[in-house]
Amino acid sequence: MLKIVFLGTAGSFPTSKRNPSCVFVNHEGELLLFDCGEGAQKRMMQAKCGMLNISSIFITHFHADHILGIPGLIQTLSFNDRKQPLVIYGPKGVESFVKLFVALGQFKPCFDVQSVEVSGRDVIVRDGYRITVFNTVHGVPSVGYALIEDERPGRFNRECAIALGVPPGPLFRKLHHGESVEINGRIVASEEVVGPPRRGRKIVYTGDTRPTEEIVKASLGADVLIHDASMADDLGDWARTTKHSTAGEAARTAADAGVKQLILTHISARYGDSTDVLINNARDIFENTAVAYDLMELVVPYPK
């Protein structure tokens, strides 16, 4: 399963309906957070997403609306007697911030809190997927992250295997995983019954940023692009000044990168009553767009 839950979708400060930035990802049972704004714990409880087993937090930058949830989360995990380490990734400065988060609790957590500094083009290899890091432009050290699954074996042609004399059972599994098998003195190669490898899924989270060519490259062919869309296109000058993106700019990135779906987030409080203008700006350029809301869930299917 690859599931995304939007735990915080507000731009810069919370509103009565939106918490600051936090995106939860469940990848085949491994639980990850991308940014961890204020109130993230409460949203994780509401989402029932298993917050005690979060393995890693990927921070895009150290503005308060992306990190204030971390000290409280560390304290809660410690009260619950966590043992496994919590790894916090982030751009330059992450080590001192993590020390500060831990110190804020004024007690030593009963688990290890580790910091890992990342910068553009770093690749974090995990079991079955990798996280690639790319630079963003926000006026402070900042990065975005792409979660890219490993390729899957190609489709197994059962009928063909049986026709070649392979009995259903363990030999099917061997063939499907690339091994050759011998049947009645004849070698059956994996390629005879298995199609070409199939790509895995890919999701991209930009954090706060101006649109850039590097983001387009990092997002190429993504199943889901989660992009800063703090404001509508009529505030383009303000987006440039504050180093954020408009909905139309996010959509242009989505179109240029050929992604399947665009999710707009980091929504300014000025769109509290209606986000229609953001959707309209974006859909003029990229049709398959939605505006994230707190507790919105998205299950990402395998590409056909």
User: Of the ranges 74-82, 107-115, 149-157, 200-208, which one interacts with Zn ion (CB under 5 A)?
Assistant: 200-208
Q: Among residues 208 and 249, whose Cβ is nearest to Zn ion?
A: 208
> Closest distance between Zn ion and the C-beta of residue 250, in Å?
14
Euclidean distance between CA atoms 282 and 92, whole angstroms: 32
Q: Among residues 208 and 223, whose Cβ is nearest to Zn ion?
A: 208
User: Of the ranges 62-70, 79-87, 167-175, 253-261, which one interacts with Zn ion (CB under 5 A)?
Assistant: 62-70
Q: With binding defined as CB under 5 A, does residue 18 bind Zn ion?
A: no
Q: Among residues 65 and 233, whose Cβ is nearest to Zn ion?
A: 65
> Closest distance between Zn ion and the C-beta of residue 64, in Å?
8
Q: What is the CA radius of gyration of the chain?
A: 22
Euclidean distance between CA atoms 133 and 123, whole angstroms: 6
Backbone angles phi, psi at 34, to 5 degrees: -115, 110
Can you say whether residue 58 is alpha, beta or left, with left for phi > 0 and alpha for psi between -120 and 50 degrees?
beta
Q: Among residues 149 and 208, whose Cβ is nearest to Zn ion?
A: 208
Which residue of 35, 38, 65, 149 would you call a contact of Zn ion, by CB under 5 A?
65
Name residue 102's beta-bridge partners.
Answer: none
Give Cα separations from 303 to 53, 125, 219, 300 (angstroms). 28, 22, 15, 9
**What is the token pair recorded at 33?**
């957070």
Which residue of 35, 38, 208, 294 would you call a contact of Zn ion, by CB under 5 A?
208
Binders of Zn ion among residues 126 to 155 (CB under 5 A) are none
Q: With binding defined as CB under 5 A, does residue 82 bind Zn ion?
A: no
Q: With binding defined as CB under 5 A, does residue 35 bind Zn ion?
A: no
User: Of the ranges 28-36, 61-69, 187-195, 272-280, which one interacts with Zn ion (CB under 5 A)?
Assistant: 61-69
Q: With binding defined as CB under 5 A, does residue 210 bind Zn ion?
A: no
Would you say 295 and 7 are in contact if contact means Cβ atoms under 8 Å apart? Answer: yes
Q: With binding defined as CB under 5 A, does residue 63 bind Zn ion?
A: yes
Give the CA dihedral 157, 159, 160, 164, nearest 10 degrees: 130
- Annotated catalytic sites, by residue? 65
Would you say 91 and 143 are in contact if contact means Cβ atoms under 8 Å apart? Answer: yes
**What is the token pair recorded at 273?**
């009553």
Q: With binding defined as CB under 5 A, does residue 228 bind Zn ion?
A: no
Where do contacts with Zn ion occur on this chain (CB under 5 A)? 63, 65, 208
